[in-house]
Amino acid sequence: MEQLNTEVVLSGVRFRNPVIPASGTFGFGQEFTRYYDLNLLGGISFKGTTIEPRFGNPTPRIAECQAGMLNSVGLQNPGAEHVRDVELPALRKIFNGPLIANISGFSEEDYVRAVEILTGAEQVALLEINISCPNVRHGGMAFGTSPEAAAAITRAVKKVATKPVYMKLSPNVTDITAIAKACEDAGADGLSLINTLLGMRIDVRRRRPVLANKMGGYSGPGIFPVALRMVYQVTGAVRIPVIGMGGVSTARDVIEMMMAGARAVQVGAANLVDPLACRSIVEALPEEMASLGIHALSEIERVS
């Protein structure tokens, strides 16, 4: 097979391929080292980080369902300073590619402070600002459902960020392009989408919600067509790069997402079903490219 070029570039940052484990599904990478060499990945979006440590939501907070899963983990993490001082140096020992810092908050000040802590970390190449988490109260998705609020957070973090800022958008809105354009106009360097869809399951025998938090984020193959549609809509409305995600589980999904306009792709729920998912996708990419006559992923054009 001829040498095929899987490299992609996001805001001047080179990724050896477009496959990036999504935040919240890959921890800080340590758990996956027993399965494969992480350096075959394009990059890693590490676990969502807040200013203070968070235990997360009460259990049960995971529920299986058809074509995917529900989660209501609630941003469990050890806090931004611990991530900077402990987790990132440990991750650098096992992975030499670009890292994406996924940052969440409950106020504008939270986001700004977390960015101040993590933007200077040597290992961090991009900042992914999560304004779309459906699993926490008093913040998260609330910022991502209003163009004005999304723009305000974008402007605030851009003032202190020394790395490119990508805003992670919620699908739980009427018009995602309005949110995307507001972020672009406020100075965002790129966008990530989509986060999970808000969902629910009921235990009919016990007659109560399966999740302790009642509702959670739905992810998995079932949301792929929705994610693809939203990526296509957003890439037709903005000029900044987009990282696509939502139900990606095969190499063909990656290429399809890129044909919708995404420059790179994150893989989420598939990692929780099969810890080898990202490796399998990366290994299958060249054959998939060859079958479609694609010599370099950078040549893929958004379909009309």
Name the residues annotated as catalytic: 133
CA distances, 13 to each of 103, 105, 136, 226, 239 (Å): 19, 25, 31, 28, 17
CB proximity list for 251: less than 8 A, separation 6 or greater: 281, 284, 285, 287, 288
303, with CB counted inside 10 A (0-12, 13-18, 19+), is: exposed
Q: Which of 238, 218, 266, 239 lies closest to 26 in space, CA to CA? A: 266
The answer to whether the CB of 79 falls within 8 A of the CB of 50 is yes
SS3 category, 33: coil
Cα separation of 14 and 210, whole Å? 42
The answer to whether the CB of 80 falls within 8 A of the CB of 110 is no
Q: Which residues of 115-126 are buried (b: 16+ CB within 10 A; e: fewer)?
A: bbbbbebebbbb
